[in-house]
Structure 1
Amino acid sequence: MSAGADRWPVGAGLRLSLTTLTVLPLRAGRVDRRTAALAMAWAPAVGLALGAVLAATAWGLTELGLAPLPSAAVLVALAASLTRGLHLDGLADTFDALGSYTTADRALAIMKSPEAGPLGVSAIAAVLLVDAAALSALVARHDWLVIAAGYAVGRLGITLCCARRIPAARPDGLGALVSGSVPAAACAAWALALVGLGAVASQLSGAAGPDWPGAHWVRAGSAVLLGCAVALLLVRHCVRRFGGVTGDVLGAGCELATAVALLALSAA
């Protein structure tokens, strides 16, 4: 490996992001804090690729004559399959721990348990219901590109959970490897880029929407702002409750940001 590649392992970071956040069987290569930081910074791009697959699937199902709601159900199931259900598992574990109302150490032990409690299961059900409802509206309007943008915004939730000054709740695991590793400038750059992407996607979708000036930008900006806000609120609560973030918290941030972003984008 060259000295330049060692200083800035962009390719290794992208491979690690893909193999961590999707089912793609790629060799992760080197795994250290610098590579992990790049992997988390790449998360929105991986989300965009995932969203593109889902958008293409939605278009195909519509062409086959499937109604919007069944199409949305297929998309929700496909999204879970393409991510190995990893983020949904993190959502359930995080909510079980948050709802335990016990000490931080005991809550972290609950989070690490392979069992899912009633609060965790309820959190998964609620998020999937919101996803399905929002996707149904987007499919009905043929907002294919907007679907892709929504999943990119959702993965920005992962990047935000790894922003600088956010500590890890444990000394080991994924949270310890990536916590506090992504510069705030990278988070801000992705947020601005996704506002532009969402606005352009909304304009190019060809679907009927608000006809007042700037409506597409407001729609996209609201999705990014609300998606980021819910992820950061979760992180703040977890830092106060557990002392930091874990890999499960990253998954929970992703799922909550995705649901909120899709809901905002589905607003007429």
Structure 2
Amino acid sequence: MSSDAQTARPSGLIAELRLLLMAVQYFTRVPMPAWVGHSAEHLSGTARYFPAVGILIGAIGALVLWLTSLVLPGPLPVILSTAFTVFITGAFHEDGLADTFDGLGGGATRERALEIMKDSRLGTFGTAALVLTLLIKIAALSAMPVTIAIGVLIAGHAFSRACAVTLLFASNYVGNPDQSRAKVVAQPMRPGELLFAIVIGVAPMYWCGLHALAGVVCSLIVLYLLTRWFMQRLGGFTGDTLGATQQLTEIAFHLAVLASWNST
């Protein structure tokens, strides 16, 4: 191997590590070293690492779930775990979910829906969607043994973000580029980048066993329905609808795995 190739490889690895850490910095409140940076030029390449961020968030939530289950009864460990994941992400995806339902529920036209989605105020549709989503998530995980819930939590966070990346790949961005924080990351992806994201999103399912297959199927059905809905109402996706996709496919994964586990 030439000396040029030897020097090129570390720089490539460092560049990929930087993209990963930038994705973590963008989607969580986890502090990153100053050298990571946050330029729009580099953020546009972070989408393939979204499922990896999901693994990190799911693992942190799983750790909180396991530790609290040692000393607390009932649904409290799941509630605390869910609260911690919401905190560590700054309710980023939950906010997108609420805005999506406010916009599509209250906007009769495409333009009005997009206008409502950019309003920082929380409306009836968004509040209902947010409360029901959190309740379903907590109820589903509480119905599982802790050992099962830990694996489902990590896999659900990872695969749901792979679903959001798939929407990003398959559709087009229709938000206001001057007002949207998501524009810098919602850039066109190459097929190889999508495949990379999907592989990362699927990897944690090893811990869920064959029950994960039900989760995948159900999540993909929800992804398909959401994609059609967004295309019909908006003509594409926005940053908010990506957040809604992540939340709803995560819930679909939880419920399907729970149903599969209960049927055995």
Q: Could you state the TM-score of these two structures normalised by the residue count of structure 1? A: 0.82
Query: Which of 231, 244, 251 pairs up with 1:259?
Result: 251
The code of the aligned residue for 1:40 comes to A
Q: Deviations over 1:116-175 (max 9, x none)?
A: 111100100111011101111234455423321121112223312321543333344244
The within-5 A match list for 1:145-160 is 145-160=151-166
Q: Tell whether the 8 Å contact from 2:103 to 2:116 is kept in structure 1 after alignment.
A: yes
Structure 1: runs of 5 or more not aligned: 203-215
By how many angstroms is 1:103 displaced? 2.0
Matched, 1:56 2:48: no
CA distance, structure 1, for counterparts of residue 39 and residue 49 of structure 2:
15
Number of matched pairs:
250
Question: What is aligned with 2:3?
Answer: none
Q: Deviations over 1:7-66 (max 9, x none)?
A: x94233212211121111325525335x334322111111111111111111111222x2
Taking the aligned partners of 2:153 and 2:110, their CA distance within structure 1 comes to 37
**1:40 alignment partner in structure 2:** 47
Instruction: Give, as a single letter, the amino acid of the residue that structure 2 aligns with 1:130.
Output: I
Counterpart residue number, 2:233: 241
What RMSD over aligned residues (CA atoms) do the two structures have, in Å? 2.7
Moved over 6 A (4+): none
Deviation at 1:72, TM superposition (A): 1.2
Compute the displacement of 1:186 (Å).
3.7
Q: Which range is displaced more, 53-62 or 123-132?
A: 53-62
- Given the superposition, is the C-alpha separation of residues 67 and 48 from structure 1 closer, same or farther in structure 2, using an over 3 Å criterion? same
* Structure 1 residues 232 and 189, CA gap change in structure 2 (3 angstroms): farther
Deviation at 1:264, TM superposition (A): 1.9
Residue 250 of structure 1 aligns with an amino acid whose one-letter code is L
The answer to whether the 8 A contact 2:66-2:77 is kept is no
Q: Matched residues, percent identical?
A: 29
Say whether the 8 Å CA contact 1:68–1:137 is kept in structure 2: no
Paired residues of 1:222 and 1:264 also in contact (CA < 8 A): yes
Q: Is the 8 A contact 1:164 1:181 kept in 2?
A: no
8 A contact 2:66–2:146 mirrored in 1: no
- Does 2:17 correspond to 1:11? yes
When residues 127 and 160 of structure 1 are mapped into structure 2, their CA distance, relative to the original with a 3 A threshold, is: same
